[in-house]
């Protein structure tokens, strides 16, 4: 079993889910500190819709948790969390001031880099 200490010191991301010995993310774990906790030869890209549009309850829960972690990572400086209600909400801005959000997509980044690979 690999040590999580190597994950702390490498290029880290925490928008991933591990359940029942399965790692799920929107990024390639071999490119980040998560390479220490996956079998590098077992990493396989899967179409997102296979997990998102599935009747399996485990896949649905994995996708919900992954989406929550991804949104939290991208908007952490703007969000607060209500523990009792288990809800995120955007912090208030100044009166009559709009908020601009820029959601980053792995597919868009890959296309800009000349690759069509989506993990």
Predicted local confidence at residue 115, as pLDDT: 41
Could you list the residue range(s) of the whole structural domain that residue 78 is in? 5-112
81 — pLDDT class (breaks 50, 70, 90): confident
Residue 119 lies in a domain: no
pLDDT at residue 114 is higher than 70:
no
Cα–Cα distance, 8 to 28 (Å, whole number): 17
91 falls within a domain: yes
Residue 73 binned pLDDT confidence (cut-offs 50, 70, 90) = confident
- Whole-angstrom distance, CA of residue 99 vs CA of residue 90: 9
Tell me, what's the pLDDT at 104?
A: 65
- SS3 string of the chain? CCCCHHHHHCCCCCCEEEECCEEEECCCHHHCHHHHCCCHHHCCCCCHHHHHCCCCHHHHHHHHHHHHHHHHHHHCCCEEEECCCCEEEECCCCCCCCCCCCCCCHHHHHHHCCCCCCC
CB 43 within 8 A of CB 34: no
| Residue 8 clears pLDDT 80, i.e. is over it | no
Indicate whether 54 pLDDT > 80. yes
66 and 17 Cβ atoms separated by less than 8 Å: yes
Whether 44 maps to a domain, the answer reads yes
pLDDT of 108 over the 80 cut = no
Residue 118 lies in a domain: no
pLDDT at residue 116 above 50? no
Q: Is residue 40 part of a domain?
A: yes
3-state secondary structure (DSSP) of residue 1: coil
Residue 55 lies in a domain: yes
Q: How many structural domains are present in the chain?
A: 1
The reply to whether 77 falls in a domain is yes
pTM recorded for the entire structure: 0.59
């Amino acid at each position: 079993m690999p040590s999580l200490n190597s994950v702390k010191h490498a290029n880290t991301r925490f928008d991933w889910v591990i359940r029942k010995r399965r790692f799920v993310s929107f990024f390639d774990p071999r490119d980040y500190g998560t390479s220490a906790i996956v079998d590098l030869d077992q990493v396989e890209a899967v179409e997102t819709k296979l997990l998102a549009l599935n009747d399996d309850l485990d896949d649905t829960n994995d996708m919900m948790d992954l989406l929550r972690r991804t949104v939290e990572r991208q908007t952490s400086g703007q969000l607060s969390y209500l523990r009792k209600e288990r809800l995120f909400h955007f912090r208030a801005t100044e009166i009559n001031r709009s908020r601009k959000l820029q959601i980053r997509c792995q597919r868009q980044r890959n296309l800009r880099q000349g690759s069509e690979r989506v993990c």
